[in-house]
Amino acid sequence: MAKKKDPAARPKGQNGNAQNDPTHDQIAEAAYHRFLSRQGAGGSDFDDWVEAERDLRSRSAPTPNSQ
């Protein structure tokens, strides 16, 4: 039997995605820029993708209120 997803597990943003989840295209573009910054040296596509996704998520993470 298929496992059901818990709809309350992650908050949803306006576009229906979890708040801190960048789109596939945003990650792809950021990973491509990482590739270019290495002057096109291959072999790190997975690392580029993971680091790009991590970077984009940290940029869109809400900052705690300082009170």
Q: Compute φ and ψ for 18, nearest 5 degrees.
A: -60, 145
Closest listed residue to residue 55, CA positions, set 33, 36, 43, 16: 33
Give the C-alpha separation, 57 to 67, whole Å: 24
Exposure on the CB side of residue 18, measured as CA atoms within 13 A: 11
Q: What percent of the chain has pLDDT over 90?
A: 43
Q: How many CA atoms lie within 13 A of 52 on its CB side?
A: 22
- pLDDT exceeds cutoff 90 at 59: no
pTM of the model: 0.60
The residue among 16 and 21 whose pLDDT is bigger is 21
**Which has the higher per-residue pLDDT, 31 or 41?**
31
